[in-house]
């Protein structure tokens, strides 16, 4: 192994030393001092005391001093009190007017206590220096004054930075709120089917009011989405929307979440805590899976609905809140009332307006638009350029019973996009095994044997059933004929013979 060449290393360090040296002489004099006195001897001696540590400028009269003040970066001025042209106090008034952040010190030959005390009290001077001065003391005084200056400047800077950050946060908040409002706007909920159009009608009417709404529907049908859209379309949109899943917590914890608690209300309650009802004051609370609540909780919810009153856990006082309540359930609440698992009075209070979201399999005509929407979202998210679905793929999607409803469709498409890679169209083979099984089972169910023993009549029953389904699901005779694998004219003839119009 050969020794590393020493020459370049040594010269590099010499260069860096030279640079550091240059910087340190500059850095040693970050502060500029201005001394104004009509006696040259005093100027000289002050300069001698201070020039080693500061950039010192001198002037023998006020006007010259002001000129330097304007031209140079001056952090501290020392001025003689008694001067022929402009007195020390007059000079300092000018300094205050021009560069108010400059630290001001006054030299005084005799103790004119009154004017100096007044000047100090008025904040015009930082302190006075009595002639003759002790050089070391003066150096300490100046150093302290500049430290104060530094801190004040830093404070001001931090204050300004904080104000700017606050302003940014405020703007960001506003932006985010707009974003959320946009994200949950009605037009983000897709559905051309008559059943969804009816849902939109009710939503629109109810959004403007404070009415309690009970949203029903199987899992994944969009209950959450509808609740948020109602809130963000209504007069409470600038206030909070808070959601709580009532099925997710044991009773006591749920009570404390919703109503808050006093310190010591239960083990672990170390401090008072506000509940969601108070946080949502003026806004909306969304009680998801309301069907899962225990009887005790049902009583408490009834009280809020009746009197707008809540009582934090462990507190003896009740509080009024102004909160709009939206609730959702995927259970049959009426059945729960009948079997006495849900209070009837609460049920009626909740379903002032009822919105029932239809399962996706009962509005298959919405599938293509939803599928394309989720494809767009997934394309964006994963930076893909998939154009659409092959006919066979779309047939598969429309035939699926979607037990997980829109959520399942969304996941299925996201998964397909992730796995498909760079294809132009999504084909049926790109969907999950689970989906294909679901479709196969559905098709199996739909060709149950007809209740007919005569073969011809039985075949007619089956034909009628298949044509009905194909027309309903594809929405047009042309597409239905395509799916059934027969020409359109044949379909029309067949429908006529089967008296299907
Ligand atoms: N009509 C629709 N248009 C667009 N997206 C929808 C629609 N319905 C549902 N979604 C989407 O489907 C997913 C499931 O919806 P959501 O969470 O609102 O269902 P949910 O009824 O609350 O389900 P769960 O009962 O499981 O809580 C969400 O990503 C939602 O954005
Ligand atoms: Mg939900």
Say what the pTM is. Answer: 0.63
| Tokens describing residue 61 | 């009269």
Of 339, 290, 273, the closest CA to residue 300 belongs to 290
Are 220 and 374 in contact, with CB atoms under 8 Å apart?
A: no
Q: Is 431 helix (H, G, I), strand (E, B) or coil?
A: coil
Measured from the alpha carbon of residue 229, the closest ligand is 1
What is the CB neighbour count within 10 angstroms for residue 234?
17
Regarding the beta carbon of 221 and ligand 1, being less than 6 Å apart is answered yes
Q: In whole angstroms, give the CA distance from residue 427 to residue 425.
A: 6
Residue 223 CA to ligand 1 centre (angstroms)? 6
Query: Tens of pLDDT along the chain (501 residues)?
Result: 444 444 444 344 443 333 333 333 344 578 999 999 999 999 999 999 999 999 999 999 999 999 999 999 999 999 998 888 888 888 998 999 999 889 999 888 766 666 666 767 666 777 778 878 888 988 998 998 888 877 877 888 888 888 888 888 888 888 788 778 777 888 889 999 999 999 999 999 999 999 999 999 999 999 999 999 999 999 999 899 999 999 988 888 999 999 999 998 888 888 899 999 999 999 999 999 999 999 999 999 999 999 999 999 999 999 999 999 999 999 999 999 999 999 999 999 999 999 999 999 999 999 999 999 999 999 999 999 999 999 889 988 998 999 999 999 999 999 999 999 889 999 988 999 888 888 877 766 666 666 777 778 878 888 888 898 888 888 889 988 988 888 899 999 999 999 887
Res 344: pLDDT: 96
Q: In whole angstroms, give the CA distance from residue 314 to residue 263.
A: 8
Residue of 332, 363, 374, 406 to test ligand 1 pocket, by largest number of atoms within 8 Å of CB: 406
Residue 334 CA to ligand 1 centre (angstroms)? 23
Ligand 1 atom nearest residue 190's Cα:
3
Residue 404 CA to ligand 1 centre (angstroms)? 10
C-alpha angle 402-407-410 in degrees, rounded to nearest 5: 95
Measured from the alpha carbon of residue 221, the closest ligand is 1
Q: What share of the chain is helix, strand, coil (3-state, %, to 5)?
A: 55, 10, 30
Q: In whole angstroms, give the CA distance from residue 409 to residue 484.
A: 24
Res 313: pLDDT: 92
Res 14: pLDDT: 40
Regarding the beta carbon of 224 and ligand 1, being less than 6 Å apart is answered yes
Res 65: pLDDT: 96
Residue 126 CA to ligand 1 centre (angstroms)? 68
């Amino acid at each position: 192994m050969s020794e590393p060449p020493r020459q370049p290393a040594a010269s590099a360090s010499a260069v860096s030393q030279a640079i550091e040296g240059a910087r340190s002489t500059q850095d040693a004099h970050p502060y500029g001092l201005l001394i104004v006195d009509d006696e040259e001897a005093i100027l000289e001696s002050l300069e001698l005391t201070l020039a080693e540590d500061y950039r010192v400028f001198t002037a023998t009269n006020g006007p010259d001093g002001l000129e330097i003040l304007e031209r140079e970066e001056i952090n501290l001025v020392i001025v003689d009190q008694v001067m022929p042209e402009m007195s020390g106090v007059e000079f300092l008034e000018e300094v205050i007017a021009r560069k108010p952040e400059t630290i001001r010190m006054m030299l005084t030959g005799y103790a004119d206590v009154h004017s100096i005390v007044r000047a100090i009290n008025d904040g015009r001077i930082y302190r006075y220096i009595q002639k003759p001065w002790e050089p070391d003391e003066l150096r300490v005084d100046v150093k302290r004054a500049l430290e104060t200056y530094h801190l004040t400047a830093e404070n001001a800077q931090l204050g300004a930075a904080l104000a700017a950050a606050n302003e940014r946060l405020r703007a960001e908040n506003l932006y985010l709120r707009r974003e959320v409002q946009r994200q949950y706007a009605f037009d983000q909920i897709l559905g051309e089917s008559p059943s969804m159009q009816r849902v939109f009608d009710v939503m629109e009417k109810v959004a403007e009011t404070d009415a309690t709404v009970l949203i029903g529907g199987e899992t994944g049908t969009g209950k959450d989405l509808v609740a948020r859209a109602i809130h963000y379309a209504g007069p409470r949109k600038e206030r909070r929307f808070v959601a709580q899943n009532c099925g997710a917590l044991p009773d006591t914890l749920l009570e404390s979440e919703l109503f808050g608690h006093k310190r010591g209300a239960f083990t672990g309650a170390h401090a008072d805590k506000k509940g969601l009802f108070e946080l949502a004051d003026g806004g909306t609370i969304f009680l998801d899976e309301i069907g899962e609540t225990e009887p005790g909780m049902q009583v408490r919810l009834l009280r809020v609905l009746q009197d707008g009153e809540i009582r934090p856990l462990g507190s003896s006082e009740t509080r009024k809140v102004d909160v709009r309540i939206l609730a959702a359930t995927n259970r049959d609440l009426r059945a729960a009332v009948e079997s006495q698992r849900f209070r009837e009075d609460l049920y009626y209070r909740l379903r002032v307006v009822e919105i029932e979201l239809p399962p996706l399999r009962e509005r298959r005509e919405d599938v293509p638009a939803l599928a394309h929407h989720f494809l767009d979202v997934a394309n964006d998210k994963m930076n893909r350029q998939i154009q659409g679905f092959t006919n066979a793929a779309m047939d598969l999607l429309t035939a699926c019973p979607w037990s997980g409803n829109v959520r399942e469709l969304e996941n299925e498409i996201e998964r397909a996009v992730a796995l498909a890679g760079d294809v132009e169209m999504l084909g049926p083979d790109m969907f999950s095994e689970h989906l294909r099984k679901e479709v196969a089972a559905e098709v199996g169910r739909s060709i149950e044997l007809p209740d007919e023993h005569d073969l011809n009549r039985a075949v007619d029953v089956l034909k009628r059933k298949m044509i009905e389904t194909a027309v309903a699901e594809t929405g047009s005779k042309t597409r239905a004929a395509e799916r059934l694998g027969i020409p359109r004219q044949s379909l029309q003839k067949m429908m006529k013979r089967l008296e299907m119009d």
